[in-house]
Structure 1
Amino acid sequence: MDTAERAAADSPADDGAARLMKLFEAHRLTPTQRRIAHCLVRRAADAPFLSSVEVAELAGVSQPSVTRFAVALGYDGYPALRKHLREVVPPGTAQGAPADSYNEYQEAVHAEIENLRHLAALLADPGPVARAGTLLAASRPLLVLGLRAASAQAGGFAYFAAKVHPDVRLIDEGGTMLADRVDAAVRAGATALLCFALPRHPREVVDALAYAKAAGLTVITVADSTFAPVAAHSDLLLPAAVGTGLAFDTACSPMLLGRVLLEAMCDGLPDAQARLEEFDARAAARSLFVE
């Protein structure tokens, strides 16, 4: 970091924004509330002096939403939050403060990069993933569960897993049929269920995992935190943080962890490579892909 970059990073404005980010990131916020939080972070120098009406106009939300935002953070109302902001944001940042190094979109990308670095550090101990891979490979059939926000992660895993595993069953919709599908898989010989659980955690996912464990399945869960609500119903929980810098969570880290689990599962399937080669041969014969 050169002298100019160091000065910018140590500027009062950046310090104020960082303190606000720390305050907001400690809470699980709705998309509307995140919009308000982003607005305040971008206007860190002015935030302690803005009225709730001004914040609402700047964020493009209603004034009651700003009040609910303050309550979600644990304050009696917006005036109490604003009082705290005046203590959090250091003095001298209101006028002439240098702009942040990155815009909000770049900040979201850099936050995801940090999540991936954290995942890489966790994978320095490959034991939990290797154990998960062995359990997934041995389950016939293999259940893969992901509802709502996590359905894309579960669907991606199941799509690729089906190329090497003889029987993969995806559950990406809740409802009364979910328990029936778990029962059917157990009767067919299933021993493990892989769950992708992402915020905001649906109650039906927690209930589904409790049912799966009661049915005798070993539950392996990819979740955003070891403290996620699904932890109590997971035999093996693998954490992968989600990004919260945008209105909706970003899940690059859980997706990558899913691919790592695929690799570990392949290591436990002696015929995985043969199945992949067989698929490639059939795909070529059918001209399935554009060359």
Structure 2
Amino acid sequence: MLRLFEGHRLTPTQRRIAHCLVRRAEEAPFLSSVELAELAGVSQPSVTRFAVALGFDGYPALRRRLRERAREAGEPADRRGNVYQRAVLAEIEQLRRLAAELSDPTRIEEAGRRLAASRPLPVLGLRAAAAEARGFAYFAAKVHPEVRLLDEGGSMLADRLDAAVAAGASALLCFVLPRYPREVAEALDAARAAGLRVVMVTDSALTPVAHSDDLLLTAPVSTALSFDTACAPTLLGRTVLEAMCDALPDAQARLDAFDTRAAARGLFLD
């Protein structure tokens, strides 16, 4: 579906509608303009203008195209099992898509170099993305000389970003997942204004907090359960971590030193 939006300059409101269609791809061909407007949190005329911006006569023409694409794609191969099994199968499909995207590692390798060169390295993730940021920061601290985790919002967040820039940071890694916190958008604006190069791991190229200058890495979340699951974005974050390790000449030495200290202190049972 993303190909439908490529090559079009969309307003923030239109990007919101597009993102809603992507996240609800299975039901999108059957939504009325009023239903889509309600789901996206926009007005019904905005949906009509969105369709026209994509080159259609109106929303009905866009919906017909979405239905044609659905027929061309066919039904999902596996509808068996209960809701929990189908959720796992949906996540597996997202991981397959991620694997296909990673056939060209250029962007991942560039992200690894940028993050390796930043001293310190701030890692940002709020609300739904806080777990991804914490996981990355935990492991990254074993190979990177200084990692600063930013997983709480509030007035202190801007202060901590300023402190990282003053200490010499050149890049920021940000995890952003739906729903997109307003504080993340504000923090990213401040980071860019301060000269930080943003590497973003998110669920869609249509995320409303991205900027054209960001190095954007995407992996879809799954919406099969009441709350989104983010196995693919988490794994994408780990591939960035691996690329950063490759770009750090002393990464293995730091890991060996940590293992020695851990054994001396009896940190682990195995």
Deviation at 1:284, TM superposition (A): 0.3
Tell me the equivalent position of 2:21: 26
Stretch moving more, 177-186 or 159-168: 177-186
Paired amino acid for 1:283: A
Structure 1 residue 72 and structure 2 residue 51: aligned? no
2:198 alignment partner, one of 200, 219, 223: 219
- Select the residue among 150, 155, 159 that pairs with 1:176: 155
Secondary structure of the 1:195 match is strand
Q: CA deviation at 1:235?
A: 1.5
Compute the displacement of 1:269 (Å).
0.5
Q: How far apart are the structure 1 equivalents of 2:37 and 2:187?
A: 33
CA contact (8 A) 2:143 2:252 kept: yes
In the other structure, the counterpart of 2:211 is 232
Taking the TM superposition and a 5 Å limit, the aligned residue runs for 1:119-134 are: 119-134=98-113
Separation in structure 2 between the aligned mates of residue 154 and residue 172 of structure 1, nearest angstrom? 7
Q: Is the 8 A contact 1:210 1:233 kept in 2?
A: no
| 3-state SS, counterpart of residue 229 of structure 1 | coil
* Matched residue SS, 2:209: helix
Separation of aligned partners in 2, 1:203 and 1:234: 19
Percent sequence identity over matched residues?
Answer: 64
Stretches of structure 1 lacking an aligned partner (at least 5 in a row) = 1-24, 30-36, 39-66, 77-87, 89-99
Please state if 1:255 is matched with 2:234: yes
1:140 and 2:96 are equivalent in the alignment:
no
Residue type of the alignment partner of 1:164: V
Aligned equivalent of 2:8: none
From 271, 274, 277, give the equivalent of 2:250.
271
Deviation track 1:110-161 (CA, whole Å, cap 9, x = no partner) reads 1111111111111101000000000000000000000000000000000000
Q: Distance in 2 between matches of 1:70 and 1:272?
A: 49
Equivalent residue, structure 2, for 1:188: 167
Quote how far apart the aligned CAs of 1:231 are.
1.7
Aligned counterpart for 1:113 among listed residues 84, 92, 117: 92
Q: CA–CA distance in 2 between the matches of 1:71 and 1:269?
A: 48
CA distance in 1, matches of 2:106, 2:201: 15
CA deviation string 1:36-78 (max 9, x = no partner): x99xxxxxxxxxxxxxxxxxxxxxxxxxxxx9999437999xx
Judge conservation of contact 1:112–1:243 (CA < 8 Å) in 2: yes
- Is the CA contact 2:109–2:243 (under 8 Å) kept in the aligned structure 1? yes
Q: 1:143 touches 1:192 (CA, 8 Å); kept in 2? A: yes
Q: Can you list the C-alpha shifts for 1:68-103, whole angstroms capped at 9, x where unaligned?
A: 999437999xxxxxxxxxxx9xxxxxxxxxxx5121
Amino acid paired to 1:256: L
Maintained 8 Å contact 1:221/1:234: no
Q: Does 1:161 align with 2:134?
A: no
Which residue of 2 is the match for residue 204 of structure 1? 183
Q: 1:234 to 1:107 in 2, by over 3 A?
A: farther
CA separation of 1:243 and 1:234: change in aligned 2, threshold 3 A: farther
CA distance in 2, matches of 1:194, 1:133: 10
Q: TM-score, normalised by structure 1?
A: 0.68
Greater C-alpha Rg: 1
Please give the alpha-carbon distance, in whole angstroms, between the structure 2 residues aligned to 1:261 and 1:241. Answer: 16
Within 1, Cα distance between the matches of 2:213 and 2:150? 17
Q: Alpha carbon RMSD of aligned pairs, Å?
A: 2.6
Aligned pairs for 1:12-91 (under 5 A) are: 26=21, 71-72=38-39
For residue 234 of structure 1, report the CA deviation from its aligned partner.
5.2
Segments of 4+ moved more than 2 angstroms: 25-29, 67-76
